[in-house]
Structure formats: structure tokens, C-alpha cells
Amino acid sequence: MTYSEKIAQTTDFIKNKVDFTPEFGIILGTGLGALVNDIQAEFELEYEHLPNFPVSTVESHKGKLIFGELAGRKVVAMQGRFHYYEGYDMKEVTFPVRVLKQLGIQKLFVSNAAGGVNLGFKIADLMIIEDHIDLTKENPLTGANLDEFGGRFPDMSEPYERKMIDEALEIAKEHEIPCHEGVYVGVSGPNLETRAEYRFIGRIGGDAVGMSTIPEVIVARHMDLPVFAISAITDLCDPDNLEKAEISKILEAAFKAEKGMTTIIKALIAKN
């Protein structure tokens, strides 16, 4: 079965299970899954029951699709995502984005937890991603192009929709949410970066660093799907004062940032 046939098979399976056409897709990252509590859920499907779907192996990622209403709009949320470091290739990592587009979404919202390289950031701040630098080891578009989804050389002059960025910054200001705008650098993981790597990331223009998001954004833009992405800054990456990372503290920071992130995403969905 070809990759395109797998996408079609999974899409048809979901459509037969769920009588629902979502307008927006939401990918929820580490420690940021509580947004689903605000969704008036109508249907839930566990990843393990979906043909061709990867299964999340990260402890903090639950692994289900939730269909319902948020801020008066129809959404489908991925509660848990996939990463290259879990052993999946980038086509598997981004497979759900292809399926969500086929299900009908018109815009994609992506969240993640990231390390703050910009020394002006504080733990639990938010950063709206306005651009990115891809340092991962594999591109999801490598290989034969899927012509039915998009062109061979997708434009990346505006990977994150400027209109939604500006709206989100206004929402953050209105609600006094600590929020920045910056450049996200994507790496493969799973190890965190060395002091020298943090210095390098800062020098090439990065404000935050993480192990997700960029592959999904590349595939979304290949399909001409507008994207909004936001990071919770869960640890500070000052190479001259680097503390040992602890997953419990990272999750605690993500939980602390979650309320503000939920407010921004709900208000954005209501506006769009």
C-alpha cells in the first residue's frame, strides 16, 4: 500500500466512525493536553485503533483524537503527538497532519514545550513562533512528491500566518499573559543540547529550541494549510549558567503556562 493509499484508508476509517467535519486541527504538546477539557467532545478515537496511525510512546502524551466544539467552532485535537526520536521516520511523524487535512480542517494550531535560548525569557512564558530554523536530520517531504497534496517545492516565506500571530499578541496583551514572539529551532533529540550547541542556536538567531513542530508545519504548508504555533518555555538554556534539566520541572512549567496558552488558542479559534 502506498503512502497516499494509507492516508486515504485512515481518513475513510475515521469518517465511517465519526460523523463530524472539523474546521480546525490542534496538536497538543508536552504537558499541554488539558485544552481538551474545554472541548465539548462528541467523539474520541484512540490512536491504537486507527489503521496506519503511529502510537505515542512519550509518557506525557495520551494518544487520542478528540472531535468536538471549542469556542463555538468545530475542532479535532490530537492529544499527544509523535517525534522522530521515538524511532518514527518523518513521514510517520507527519502522517496525522495529512489525515486531518483530508478530514476537512482549514487551519492548524500547534503547541509545544521548548527550551528558552533567548535570555530575556522566563520559565513558563509563552513564545508565539514567527519563524523557524530546521536542524533535524530528515525532511518529511523527502522522496517522491505527493502531487495530489501540493507542489514539489513549497514556499516557506510565511510558514506561520502573520494575521494569526498579530491577533494572538493582542489577545496576550489584553489578558496580561507573558508572551513573546520568536524563532523556534528544531532538533532531532532526544538528548538535550550541550552548552556549545545552545551558544550556536542563539548565534544563528534562535529564541527557543525543541524536538517537534517543524516537520508538521512543513507538511501543513506543503498542503497550503495556514499554521499558528506557540511554545511554552519550560527551561532556560543559558550556556554560562546551565542547570541540569529535570523532566518533573519541565512538566511543571508546561502546566503553569497552560492556562495562558489555552486562553490564546480559544480566542484565536473564535476569531478565525
Lowest mean pLDDT among 101-110, 122-131, 227-236, 248-257: 248-257
Range of the structural domain that residue 97 is part of: 3-271
Choose among 224, 218, 188, 198: nearest CA to 83. 188
* DSSP bridge pairs for 107: 24
Q: Which of 152-166, 225-239, 248-262 has the lowest mean pLDDT?
A: 248-262
Residue 59: per-residue pLDDT: 56
Report field, pTM of the whole predicted structure over 0.85: yes
Distance CA 271, CA 98 (A): 24
CATH number at residue 250: 3.40.50.1580
- pLDDT, tens digit, 9 for 90 and up, residues 55-89: 766 555 478 999 999 999 999 999 989 999 999 99
Q: Which residue matches cell numbers 520568536? A: 182
Looking at the DSSP assignment, which residues form a beta bridge with residue 259?
none
The Cα-based distances of 171 to 106, 165, 253, 260, 272 in angstroms read 21, 10, 21, 10, 13
* CB 216 within 8 Å of CB 206: no
Q: What is the mean pLDDT of the chain?
A: 94
User: At residue 32, does pLDDT exceed 80?
Assistant: no
Rounded to 5 degrees, what are φ and ψ at 271? -75, -30
**Between 144 and 33, the higher pLDDT residue:** 144
Helices (H), 125-161: none
Residue ranges of alpha helices (H) inside 33-180 are 90-103, 162-174
Say which amino acid occupies 271. Answer: K
- Which residues have C-beta within 8 Å of that of residue 110, sequence separation ≥ 6? 26, 27, 29, 213, 216, 217, 227, 228, 229, 230
Question: Which segments of 135-246 are extended strands (E)?
Answer: 179-186, 208-210, 227-236
How many domains, the chain?
1
